[in-house]
Amino acid sequence: MNMQLIREQFPILHQDINGHPLIYLDSAASSQKPRSVIDAVKRYYEWDNANVHRGVHTLGSRATDAYEGAREKVAKFINAASTQEIIFTRGATTSLNLVASGYARAVCGEGDEIVITPMEHHANLIPWQQAAKATGATLKYIPLQPDGTITIEDVEKTVTDRTKIVSVTHVSNVLGVINPIKEIAAIAHRHGAVMVVDGAQSAPHMAVDVRNLDCDFYAFSGHKMCAPTGIGVLYGKKALLDGMEPIEFGGEMIDHVDLQDATWKELPWKFEGGTPIIAGAVGLGAAIDFLTEIGMDAIEQHEHKLTAYAYDRLSTLDGITIYGPQQNRSGLVTFNLGEVHPHDVATVLDTKGIAVRAGHHCCQPLMRWLNVSSTARASFYLYNTEEDVDRLVDALQETREFFGYAIG
Ligand code: 7TS
């Protein structure tokens, strides 16, 4: 990958923060946007903006074409069988809540099981807690190994014939663990359960093929993959989506309405109540074009190399604890520096122009399992370089010296 060419396409990266060139290491929270995405959204508002699926006028049909064109790009990007399987949502959180409210509550009952892991983001944990409480189902957890991974043997032990849903993150936003979704899906299916995947941290960073994974639902957010905030996707197998009731009613999703009853449009529109996030979808389409042109495999390889480099360099710092496995990890490194509070680490790094995230990363049960209240996290994307990692390591070294008393 030509790093200079790639970095030139992200205007935001070329500025000083607190007197230092910005090093952005928080893409797991939200990625930066390339010029082509910013321009596509701008062009849409300057030339094509109108509501979709209703106007017979030219702008209405241009907006509809742009919106539905983006859906085709998404379907191709994840290798869905058809655009009917692509529901536009507000993001991964909304997508997962849609499955928990629209599917889980309909199929689960007393004594049934929903299986997840302790490494889930709250967005893939609380919706299942709520669905379990509402239906009398039991929420079960596949246990974690000391390095934060799960084993297939434990999946086999946890999933039973009473399991209706298995929902696992493809990539952990804290541990960087990449879960073996295809193998887990095969076990879920053998027991008649459906496989839900939280793809918030995988879709932006690797080639995803939902048919090869054979997952039933796959959720992700645009803003973590170069697209604007406010747009996301729920992929679902057509037969399952056909059998599901919508959870939002009005506007776009309506077919025929009487005083006492109503019918819905066909897929995918039945799940898209109200005026959809048209400009967001246009931006997501442009982001997919941008990522695809560079190549998802090339992006994955770049991040893999960079993360290995970061892991090795960070490991040399006295008093550092790095969480998650050393091998087979995605593009982020989560750590603590002795007893220094991660918010202090992030604040000192910010004074040097380096943006990292500190906190519980919306994974409180995982923090408890790690026996910490919070951590710092550096997360990488296609625009990050080894020089960024070197700057981080140097800055952490200085932070370490500053807080030496707390590191020992
Ligand atoms: N699932 C995972 C694995 C995530 O990392 C996130 C966001 C979500 C779901 C929710 O995505 P949203 O776009 O609907 O908010 N993760 C993070 C993070 O790690 N730091 O900030 C947001």
What percent of the chain shows pLDDT beyond 90? 95
Amino acid 407: pLDDT: 60
- What was the pLDDT predicted at 405? 57
Residues 288/203, Cβ–Cβ less than 8 Å: no
Helix or strand or coil: residue 141?
Answer: strand
Give the span between the Cα atoms of 158 and 233, in whole angstroms.
29
By the 10 Å C-beta count (0-12 exposed, 13-18 middle, 19+ buried), 310 is classed as: buried
CA distance 126 to 137: 14
Whether 400 has a pLDDT exceeding 90, the answer reads no
Predicted pLDDT of residue 406: 61
For residue 252, what pLDDT is reported? 84
354: β partners: 23
263 has pLDDT over 70: yes
Q: With H, G, I as helix, E, B as strand and everything else as coil, classify residue 188.
A: helix
Output the residue whose Cα is nearest ligand 1's atom 4: 200
How many CA atoms within 13 Å lie on the side-chain side of 301?
6
pLDDT of residue 150: 98
Ranges assigned E (strand) in 91-162: 113-116, 138-141
Q: What percent of the chain stands above pLDDT 70?
A: 99
CA dist list (Å): 406 to 162, 318, 373: 49, 12, 16
pTM exceeds 0.95, yes or no? yes
Give yes or no for residue 338 having a pLDDT over 70. Answer: yes
Structure confidence by residue, pLDDT tens digits, 343-386? 999 999 999 999 999 999 999 999 999 999 999 999 999 999 99
Write the pLDDT tens digit of every residue in 273-320: 999 999 999 999 999 999 999 999 999 999 999 999 999 999 999 999
Residue 166's pLDDT band, with cuts at 50, 70 and 90, is very high
Comparing CA positions, the residue from 374, 29, 321, 310 lying closest to residue 147 is 321
Residue nearest to atom 17 of ligand 1 (CA): 29
Q: Are 178 and 149 in contact (CB under 8 A)?
A: no
Q: Tell me how crowded residue 83 is: count the other CB atoms within 10 A of its CB.
A: 17
**276: which 2 tokens?**
């959809």
Could you confirm whether 226 is annotated as catalytic? no
Segment 86-133, tens digit of pLDDT: 999 999 999 999 999 999 999 999 999 999 999 999 999 999 999 999
Q: Are strands 354-355 and 23-24 parallel, antiparallel or unpaired?
A: parallel
Please tell me the distance between residue 49's alpha carbon and the centre of ligand 1 in angstroms. Answer: 29
**What's domain 3-26+296-407's architecture?**
Alpha-Beta Complex (3.90)
pLDDT at 408: 56
Average pLDDT, stretch 249-270?
A: 95
DSSP state of 71: H
- Give the amino acid at 31: S
Fold of the CATH domain 37-293: Aspartate Aminotransferase; domain 2 (3.40.640)
Bridging pattern class, strands 163-169 and 194-198? parallel
CA of 46 to the centre of ligand 1 (A): 31
Q: Where are the domains of the chain?
A: 3-26+296-407, 37-293
Show the ligand 1 pocket: residues with CB < 6 angstroms.
28-29, 91-93, 121, 123-124, 169, 173, 198, 200-201, 221, 357, 361-362
